[in-house]
Amino acid sequence: MMHVAPYVIAAWIFVVGLYGLVTTRNLIHAVLCLSVMQSSTYVLLLSIGFRRNAGAPIFSVDVPPGTPAVDPVMHALTLTDIVVGATVMALVLALTMQVHRKTGSIDPHKARSISG
Amino acid sequence: MSVYQAVIYALIAIFATVTVLTRDPKVQIFPYAFYGMLLAILFFILQAPDVTLSELAVGTALIPFLVLVTLAKMRARER
Amino acid sequence: MTDRVRFALFAAGIVPLGVFLVWAVAGLSPFGYYPGPYGDVVNAIATAQRHVLNVATAVNFDYRGFDTLGEEYILFTSVAGLILILRERRQTQGKRTSLGETERADGVGALSLVLLPVIVVFGMYMAVHGGLTPGGGFQGGAIIASGFLLAYLGSGHPAFHAIGKIEILEVFESLGAAAYVVIGLAALGLGLSFLQNFMPLGGRGNLVSGGTIWAINIAVMLEVATGLVIALSEFLKEIEP
């Protein structure tokens, strides 16, 4: 069980974030739950790429290529994802401000549709 | 799995739950920022320094600040 | 649909999802025993092929440069959408809110303004050394944006808008986004494939090494830094006193 515990924790974070998103009464709370769901994918990717007793995939004169290192492709996928996720959260927050302007509340059950 | 990894993974699972169960956004920022810091520590332990740098700057400083500005804007309009 | 029905539907859906997720991840290789060949292959050949020491940067900007182009344009489009939404609101309604300006101590303001160039230079150092040490365009850009955030927190709106002039920022953001595509098209013009590495590789361990990797690195740093500062600036104009 311990050898797949990190993956199960990533799945748990995803499910918990989804629960928060479904039962929310406040759009800003929903934005942060969405961000928590996104972070579960980072945890899963990096846990898959990890290798015991290995170093970071950065080589130099003292650490020549060939020493055990973790998977660099997962790092590349994750680090762009984090910055892009932050910018998309900013866009969703601007949309939340728009919803508040049009309908006066940020309760997702009350704000039905915005036009314009 | 070493002791550090086990502790960090457990703390991450706990703080994700705490962040979701905190309903008021004004208060939710704090567990979210702490969760971002825990993620940065996890990425460091998993030998990923590039990802640590990204997560620190973004998850601890920029996102909580944008949420605070949104909350301030809504409070201003209600006056 | 009432709350109860919604929650019952969610519970009916989440239990099979949870079971399938746990079943799926239980089939992965145990934590710490990475099996796949791709990571090891890239680790073995990246330094010899591209003369960069940070393999994650080489993967980001060279081996999988097309994915990074897509990610950068997600960022560009989000900032464009944000600008559209917030500026339209400011044009049709007033600009001023009823929030007052916070009292700030002079020492804190002075210190934050002194620290801003230090942080910007540190962010640029982190970005430019992306091929040699942990770092790269995305990380350096995020650090530069947090420097501007510190300037606002210490000195308030006038200082922030005086330093981060929106006209200059927009020009640099477009430049950064366009430079990535132009480098790819230049490879096409030379008869190679799109985004193929065509510049001279340089010596291992130099700053200017890796062919197009350092050029794309700088373009991404420009785009991410200015994009995040533009997003901050638009948000801050919403609560200007």
Domain harbouring A43, CATH code: 1.10.287.3510
Chosen for mutation from B1, B4, B51, B54 (greatest number of chain C CBs closer than 10 Å) is: B54
Shortest CB distance from C236 goes to which of B62, B69, B76?
B69
A111 within domain boundaries: no
Q: What is the largest CA-CA distance in chain A?
A: 62
Beta bridge mates, A51: C32
Shortest CB distance from A43 goes to which of B1, B12, B58?
B12
- Residue C6's pLDDT is 86
Of A8-12, C47-51, C66-70, C226-230, the one with minimum mean pLDDT is: C47-51
Instruction: Count residue pairs from A and B with Cβ separation < 8 A.
Output: 125
CA distance A114 to B27: 28
DSSP states of C167-207: HHHHHHHHHHHHHHHHHHHHHHHTTS-TT---S----TT-S
CA distance A47 to A11: 12
Determine contact, residues C120/C144, Cβ cutoff 8 Å: yes
CA distance C114 to C191: 49
Shortest CB distance from B54 goes to which of A6, A17, A83?
A83
- C99 vs C103: which has the higher pLDDT: C103
Per-residue pLDDT band for A112 (boundaries 50, 70, 90) equals low
Residue A111 has pLDDT above 80, yes or no: no
Q: Do C85 and A60 touch (CB under 8 A)?
A: no
Classify each residue of C205-234 as buried b or exposed e, where b means 16 or more C-beta atoms within 10 Å of its C-beta.
eeeebbbbbbbbbbbbbbbbbbbbbbbbbb
CA distance C30 to C24: 13
Q: What is the pLDDT of residues A86-99, one digit of tens each?
A: 999 999 999 998 88
Percent pLDDT > 70 in chain C is 98
- Considering its fold, how many domains does chain A have in total? 1
Average pLDDT over residues C82-111: 82
B59 chain-A contacts, CB cut-off 8 A:
35, 39, 82, 86
C135 chain-B contacts, CB cut-off 8 A:
50, 53
Q: What six digits make up the tokens of A13?
A: 């974070």
**Which sequence spans correspond to the domains of chain C?**
52-238
- Considering its fold, how many domains does chain B have in total? 1
CA distance C144 to C229: 8
A113 within domain boundaries: no
Chain A nearest C-alpha distance from B26 (Å): 9
Residue B64 has pLDDT above 70, yes or no: yes
Chain C nearest C-alpha distance from B17 (Å): 16
Q: Do A94 and C81 touch (CB under 8 A)?
A: yes
Residue A110 has pLDDT above 80, yes or no: no
Q: Do C235 and B69 touch (CB under 8 A)?
A: yes
Shortest CB distance from C149 goes to which of B53, B62, B79?
B62
Question: Helix %, strand %, coil % for chain C, to 5?
Answer: 75, 0, 25
Q: What is the pLDDT of residues C198-231, one digit of tens each?
A: 888 888 888 888 888 999 999 999 999 999 999 9
Q: Which of A49, A84, B40, A76 is nearest to C52 (CA)?
A: A76
What secondary structure, in 3-state letters, does chain B show?
CCHHHHHHHHHHHHHHHHHHHCCCHHHHHHHHHHHHHHHHHHHHHCCCHHHHHHHHHHHHHHHHHHHHHHHHHHHHHCC
Give residue for tokens 């919803």.
Answer: A99
ipTM score for this prediction: 0.91
The pTM is what?
0.92
Chain C nearest C-alpha distance from B75 (Å): 9
Q: What is the DSSP letter of A25?
A: S
A114 within domain boundaries: no
Determine contact, residues C194/C188, Cβ cutoff 8 Å: yes
C136 chain-A contacts, CB cut-off 8 A:
79
- Residue C92's pLDDT is 78
The residue type of A106 is I
Q: Is C163 helix (H, G, I), strand (E, B) or coil?
A: helix
Range of the domain at A12: 2-53+63-103
Q: Do B70 and A28 touch (CB under 8 A)?
A: yes
Chain A nearest C-alpha distance from B6 (Å): 9
CA distance A57 to A69: 5
A109 within domain boundaries: no
CA distance C184 to C199: 11
Chain B nearest C-alpha distance from A45 (Å): 11
Listed by number, the residues of chain C in 144-203 with a beta carbon closer than 8 Å to a beta carbon of chain A are none
A114 in contact with chain C, both atoms CB, cutoff 8 A = no
CA distance C24 to C28: 7
Residue in chain B lying closest to A9 (CA)? B13
Determine contact, residues C224/C135, Cβ cutoff 8 Å: no
- Residue B12's pLDDT is 95
Q: What six digits make up the tokens of B46?
A: 């998993």
CA distance C52 to C217: 12
Residue B38 has pLDDT above 80, yes or no: yes
C95 in contact with chain A, both atoms CB, cutoff 8 A = no
- CA B4-B22-C13 angle, 5° bins: 85
